[in-house]
Amino acid sequence: MSGQFTMNIAWFLLLMVFFNGFASHGATTNISTRPQFVNVGAMLALNSIVGKVAKVAIQAAVEDVNSDPSVLSGTKMIVTTQNSNYSGFLGIIEALRFMEKDTVAIIGPQNAVTAHAVSHIANELHTPLLSFAVTDPTLSSLQFPYFVRTTQNDLFQMAAVADMVEYYGWREVIAIYVDDDLGRNGIAALGDLLAEKRSKISYKAPLVLDPTRNNITDVLIKVSLTESRIIVLHVYPGWGPEVLSVANYLGMMGTGFVWIATHWLSSYIDSTMPLPMSTLDNMQGVLTLRMYTPDTEQKRKFVSRWSNLTGGNQIGLNAFGLYAYDSVWLLAHALDAFFDQGGNISFSNDSRLTQMPRGDLNLEYLSIFDGGSLLLRNIFGVNMTGTTGSFKYTPDRDLIRPAYEIINVIGTGVRRIGYWSNHSGLSVKPPETFYTSPPNHSSSNQSLYSVIWPGETAQQPRGWVFPNNGRHLKIAVPNRASFREFASYTRSNDMFTGYCIDVFTAALNLLPYAVPFKFFPVGDGKRNPRSTDLVHTIQTGEYDAVVGDIAITTNRTRMADFTQPYIESGLVVVAPVKTTLNSNPWAFLRPFNKMMWAVTAAFFLIVGTVVWILEHRLNDEFRGPPRRQLVTILWFSFSTWFFAHRENTVSTLGRLVLIIWLFVVLIINSSYTASLTSILTVQKLSSSIKGIETLLESKDPIGYQQGSFAKYYLVEELHIDSSRLVPLVMPEDYVRALKAGPHKEGGVAAVIDERAYMELFLSSRCDFSIVGQEFTKTGWGFAFPRDSPLSVDLSTALLKLSDNGDLQRIHDKWLLRSPCTSPGAKLEVDRLELRSFSALFIICGGACLVALIIYFSMMCHQFTKRYTDSLSSSGSSTSRRLQTFLTFVDEKEEVQSRSKRRSMEKMSNRSAGEDDSSNSSKRRHIDQYSCASRSFEDSNNA
């Protein structure tokens, strides 16, 4: 019985243990028992400026968190600080020590080298790393998911630098950087961002970690011998000022230099103010970036406490200190959410570590944080407002709204010249003013205040100089065989002359700096070198530039950059021409084009009709049978061409219209006579070839200048068989081939070459002429390597030469020749077009319209006054009224006057004392006059 009872008790205890275990692992997973404390590690470089500030900020944040009952609900945060001192090896050792103490998270590390090393441990043991100072952009969330950057990514800082370079119009920069993960990866990001803006890093100057003054001097001497003067300095605050000191000693802080320091310099200045004057002297004119933190209430309170927190030590608060403070609060909020979601502080052994042979390393003490992934999700889910402003993560695990202040070191302090934000780019207004509007990075929206550059100058540096290493620019010049007026080389005295050479040297003289160069002839002087091959030598690095008659074509722009064209030139067709006179039997029609003839004829008829309408009621010469009236209109209209019309105009409106029309006819007549005289008497050059279209339709051979791009264009673009093309070198070869013609050996139907050459060729050869239109539009320019700043400056100088007239004077000196004065000189007489006389026709048409409106207004008024009562009383229809109106308009003015007088006589008072006998005699006289008038009209109608 006793044994049975004991057995039951054992089974009961076993079931209790089982159910307790089941409950602890199943039913109560959402119930968390908050621990009394959590262990957090902090990895700092305590000897550095950032480390000293961060230590104070972290301690203050831990005190604030532990004293705030609304966070962690009584759980205390214990932070243990270790000094890694920028060492990856020490960082690994310290991280392993933290893992032995059941650490749930590590604040840090402080530098990129340590972060790369420790992140592998964090990935294995599921311990989040919250780094407030590592800005290395390669610490991505994909490779290192447990690395949490609680500061700004260097990718945004380099974007700000790239925008500044673009804003000031620079194309090349020099990068001086610390040769570790921070420096290499940051500068690599800068190079990618500059490439998007067609800029580049022309020279990279790495520095060893903790360099000596001699190391820095050696690097800066090499930098001073380069071309670019835009220097980006990406190092650590501890020894960055030493680089500026050496630069000042070497004269690299003077006029012409631009120094852009990343946020290390602003951190150094903020933490060591006031700076000694000797240190400030080394920084004058430097631009630097400072991570922008808005002026929140939390920030103001923390800044006001800072002096008390430091215990009177002369160390200022920088942006990294603010991010270190917020990192502690970020972890506190994440832990609070972690506990609310049922998270427990528990650790388990790493199976891979237990399988390793035992040794003296005690790896069995390292354990995996079971709730690491849940805590990590809560960290990235925190949305709070800290001393740095709104603290929240994007889907890419970067802090939202990255922004920087742009600082200019000047005098005894610094001056803010603007801001940069990922939302709006460069601006003089704080970034938060743009967050309510859509992102806008347009160039017109970018702005910064003026800068005092190194050398205490407000004038923006050009950004580059010629290398101070004694090397001259090697400039290739084509040693031409023909058309040496453009570029030629005399071997006896080693002289280069010609139009292109003079233009180049004149443009160089306008530059505000000296350009050391030396010309090198390319070619044997017997054959023209191919211009494309010359440009290719720039791409291969054999020459630094090409000066000569180089046409700017598409394939050449892929090899080099060209200046502004200094002469326009395109392909034209030159063919033999012969002198003829215009013997066309229809040549008399050529002075006017078809539209001009049609409008002129129409206006003859319109004016004749208008004059007939205005004269019909008053003038007997415009009355009679319809056929006679039509003949009168036609005769009157066309006789005005010769001012021979016999009909007189008696109405005022008719005379007004006729005067205006005769003036128009006078102008047209004079123009026609002058143009016809020119057409019939001036000699004309004619050719069977009308342009490139004629050559495309035929199979005749075509000549081109050997070495020019004409062959490539004809074959590749116009698809002309290369067997039809005949290379020619000298102008004499042109003459011989053109005179021989297409049907003889070596002859051609036409020559295709650039206009600049052909105008010089034709200036003294009048048997040939340009036929058709220029079928390409190109120009000549000087070629330089891609993105060369000299091409931009020379383009500006060429525009100045054009504006002041020097370019034309150089042209006249080399290319102006006596014009061809033979009888065969071409003089093209253009036909007269309607637009040349449009104003006259508009005035004449307007006069006709106004006259008709006035005339019909008068007719309507008279008709209404005479017939309104009679038509109203009889109730006439509309057609009857219209018929009556037309009859009224057709009446002669005198009949209307007689009827009007008769009506007045009937209405007069016969008892007014008038003599009846006198009235009778007057009526007989009127009747006789009416009969005579009626007889005259009947005879005319007959």
Mean pLDDT of 364-378: 85
Q: Are strands 473-478 and 545-546 parallel, antiparallel or unpaired?
A: parallel
pLDDT score for 293:
94
Looking at the predicted structure, is the pLDDT value of residue 254 above 90? Answer: yes
E strands of 126-265, at which residues?
129-131, 147-149, 172-178, 200-207, 230-234, 258-261
pLDDT of residue 748: 93
CB 143 within 8 A of CB 397: no
Name the CATH topology of 154-297+402-445.
Answer: Rossmann fold (3.40.50)
**Class of the domain covering 473-569:** alpha beta
Predicted local distance difference test score (pLDDT) of residue 804:
93
pLDDT computed for residue 30 by the predictor: 41
| Residue 350 banded pLDDT, cuts 50, 70, 90 | low
Task: Compute the average pLDDT of residues 11-40.
Answer: 49
Q: Cα-Cα-Cα-Cα dihedral of 153, 159, 160, 164, to 10°? A: 160
Determine the pLDDT at residue 819.
59
Contact 69, 96 (CB under 8 A): no
Give the model's pLDDT for residue 107: 94
**Per-residue pLDDT at 675:** 80
Q: What would the mean pLDDT of 693-721 be, rounded to a whole number?
A: 90
Q: Provide the pLDDT for residue 196.
A: 92
pLDDT value of position 6: 35
pLDDT category at 322 given cuts 50, 70, 90 is very high
User: What pLDDT score was predicted for residue 458?
Assistant: 93
Q: Which two tokens stand for residue 120?
A: 């592998």
More confident residue, 765 or 906: 765
pLDDT value at 22 more than 50? no
The residues, any chain, with a CB within 8 Å of residue 670's CB and separated by 6 or more, are none
Q: Give the long-range contacts of residues 738-742, CB within 8 A, separation 24 or more.
A: 738/574, 738/575, 738/576, 738/703, 738/768, 739/576, 739/767, 741/576, 742/700, 742/701
Return the bridge partners of 453, or none: 457
The overall average pLDDT reported for the chain is 82
pLDDT at 421: 95
Higher pLDDT, 42 or 11: 42
Instruction: Look at residue 799 and tell me whether its pLDDT is greater than 90.
Output: yes
Where helices occur in 355-429 by DSSP H, the ranges are 372-381
Looking from the CA of 926 toward its CB, the CA atoms found within 13 Å total 14
Alpha-carbon gap, residue 767 to 102, rounded angstroms: 101
Q: What's residue 285's pLDDT?
A: 95
Tokens of 420: 């940069």
Q: What's the pLDDT score for residue 140?
A: 78
Overall size of the chain counted in residues: 942
Query: Tell me, what DSSP letter sits at residue 140?
Result: -
At 19, is the pLDDT very low, low, confident or very high (cuts 50, 70, 90)?
very low
State the average pLDDT over residues 312-340. 92
Question: Residue 771 pairs with which residues in a beta bridge?
Answer: 573
Please give the share of the chain, as a percent, with pLDDT higher than 70.
82
pLDDT beyond 50 at 4: no
Q: What is the pLDDT of residues 823-858, one digit of tens each?
A: 333 444 456 778 888 888 888 888 888 888 888 888
**Could you tell me if residue 437 is left (phi over 0), alpha (psi between -120 and 50 degrees) or otherwise beta?**
beta
Band of pLDDT at residue 17, cut at 50, 70 and 90: very low
pLDDT category at 175 given cuts 50, 70, 90 is: very high
**Is the pLDDT reported for residue 518 higher than 50?**
yes
Which range, of 208-212, 704-708, 902-906, 937-941, averages the lowest pLDDT?
Answer: 937-941
- The predicted pLDDT at position 354 comes to 55
Amino acid letter at 21? G
Domain ranges of the chain: 37-151+304-392, 154-297+402-445, 473-569, 574-578+686-777, 587-681
Mean pLDDT for the stretch of residues 725-749: 91
Q: Which residue's entry shows tokens 């090499």?
A: 222
- Give pLDDT, residue 373: 93
- The pLDDT assigned to 615 comes to 76
The pTM of the full predicted model, rounded to 2 decimals, is 0.66
Looking at residue 557, its pLDDT comes to 92
Higher pLDDT pick, 49 / 21: 49
- Among 193-202, 758-767, 807-816, 903-912, which is the least confidently predicted range? 903-912
Query: Sheet holding 561-562: strands in order across?
Result: 517-522, 473-478, 545-546, 783-784, 561-562
Note the pLDDT of residue 647.
62
Q: Tell me, what's the pLDDT at 270?
A: 92
**What gap in Å lies between CA 804 and CA 305, rounded to an integer?**
66
Buried b (16+ CB within 10 A) or exposed e, 492-505: eeeebebbbbbbbe
| The domains spanning 37-151+304-392 and 473-569 adopt the same CATH topology | no
pLDDT at residue 26 is higher than 80: no
| pLDDT value at 265 more than 90 | yes
More confident position, 44 or 928: 44
Which tens digits make up the pLDDT trace of 389-435?
999 999 999 999 999 999 999 998 899 999 999 999 999 999 999 99
> Does the structure show a pLDDT above 80 at 186?
yes
CATH no. for 574-578+686-777? 3.40.190.10
User: At 119, which amino acid appears?
Assistant: S
Predicted confidence (pLDDT) per residue in 66-119, tens digit: 999 889 888 999 999 888 877 777 777 877 777 777 889 999 888 888 888 889
Per-residue pLDDT averaged across 885-909, rounded? 54
* CATH superfamily placement of domain 37-151+304-392: Response regulator (3.40.50.2300)
Interval 804-815 mean pLDDT? 92
Between 391 and 673, the higher pLDDT residue? 391
687/78: higher pLDDT: 78
Of the listed ranges 487-501, 608-622, 843-857, the one predicted with least confidence: 608-622
254 with 468: CB under 8 angstroms? no
Give residue 290's pLDDT band: very low, low, confident or very high (50, 70, 90): very high
3-state SS, 116-129, equals HHHHHHHHHHCCCE
Predicted local distance difference test score (pLDDT) of residue 84: 80
pLDDT recorded at residue 566: 95
- Average pLDDT estimate for 664-688: 75
Alpha-carbon span 462 to 477, nearest angstrom: 28
pLDDT at residue 767 in the model: 83
Which pLDDT value is given to residue 21?
Answer: 36
The per-residue pLDDT for 894 is 56
Contacts of 457 (CB under 8 A, 6+ apart): 255
Could you tell me which residue, 550 or 616, shows the higher pLDDT? 550
Residue 202 exposure: Cα atoms within 13 Å on the Cβ side: 24
Question: What residue spans of 570-729 are helical by DSSP H?
Answer: 594-615, 626-639, 652-681, 692-697, 710-712
Q: Rounded to an integer, what distance in angstroms lies between the CA atom of residue 737 and that of residue 717? A: 24
What is the rounded average pLDDT of the residues 29-41?
75
pLDDT at 942 over 50: no
Give yes or no for residue 365 having a pLDDT over 90: no
Strand pairing partners for 76?
37
Q: Residue 542: is its pLDDT beyond 60?
A: yes
Tell me what pLDDT residue 117 has. Answer: 85
Q: What is the pLDDT of residues 142-160, one digit of tens each?
A: 889 999 999 999 999 999 9
